[in-house]
Amino acid sequence: MKRFATAAFAAAVLLVSHSVSAQTSQTSAQGESWTDKWLKGPTVTGAAGVTLTKKTGGLISGEVGKEIWPKTMITIEGGWMSSVVSSHRIDSASAIADYLAQTQGQPASASVKVPAGYGAVNVRRTVYSKPRYNVYALGGLGLAVTSPKSTFILGGTDVSGSLAQYGVTLGKDLSGSSVGALINLGVGATYPYGKWVGDVSYRLTPMFTPGQATIVNRFVFGVGRKF
């Protein structure tokens, strides 16, 4: 009887131990699934590229992305573009130069530079996958700050700082700084290599700037790292 009790006790201990072990393994597996799905590390990317509006410019940018669902990533993007000159700004500056030439009887010319800083939140969805690359589509919203600088030459002299004496006052489209919304639409491809990833994309970015929306075409080339 004593031996039977001892054997039964040992069997009970073994059964409980096996049950606890199974529950621990299951909980661990569930924890790993949660980690893989929600706590996966971000990808940080630095990039440079080219912008095309009425003039060609350069850009530098950074982007941090996190996968929130299989094949779906939220990214926060920010950067600086050297030139986002629209036809409206060029036409406005040219009209002022023509006015100065007519009223002052001297040749006049104008030039406009419009650098811009921007930030956006994007949703990126992988639409096609291969072992060596992934193709994605992107859409997002954000804000842009434009800071136009206009230069006016009259009779060989820079009169940009003294336009008031000629009866000219520049608007926000040709001076100062202004903030406007932007939309991001794009397609691209990533090329993973271990924890590193190459990223090449085209992004169409309409910016709602004073006077007229500025359509910016961006060609972006980046290198990122997964954490």
What average pLDDT does this structure show over 146-157? Answer: 96
What average pLDDT does this structure show over 69-81? Answer: 97
Q: Residue 41 has what pLDDT?
A: 86
Q: Is the pLDDT of residue 54 over 80?
A: yes
Q: Is the pLDDT of residue 145 over 70?
A: yes
What average pLDDT does this structure show over 34-40? Answer: 53
pLDDT above 90: percentage of residues in the chain = 80
Q: Mean pLDDT over all residues of the chain?
A: 86
Domains identified in the chain and CATH numbers: 41-226 (2.40.160.20)
Q: Is the pLDDT of residue 8 over 80?
A: no
What average pLDDT does this structure show over 90-115? Answer: 96
Lowest mean pLDDT among 28-42, 88-102, 176-190: 28-42
Q: Residue 151 has what pLDDT?
A: 97
Distance CA 82, CA 88 (A): 18
Q: How confident is the model at residue 210 (pLDDT cuts 50, 70, 90)?
A: confident
Q: Is the pLDDT of residue 20 over 50?
A: no
- How many other CB atoms are there within 10 angstroms of residue 162's CB atom? 12
Lowest mean pLDDT among 17-26, 90-99, 181-190: 17-26
CB 221 within 8 A of CB 60: no
Distance CA 181, CA 9 (A): 72
What average pLDDT does this structure show over 146-159? Answer: 96
Q: Residue 32 has what pLDDT?
A: 47
What average pLDDT does this structure show over 48-60? Answer: 97
Q: Residue 211 has what pLDDT?
A: 80
pTM summary value: 0.78
Q: Residue 1 has what pLDDT?
A: 40
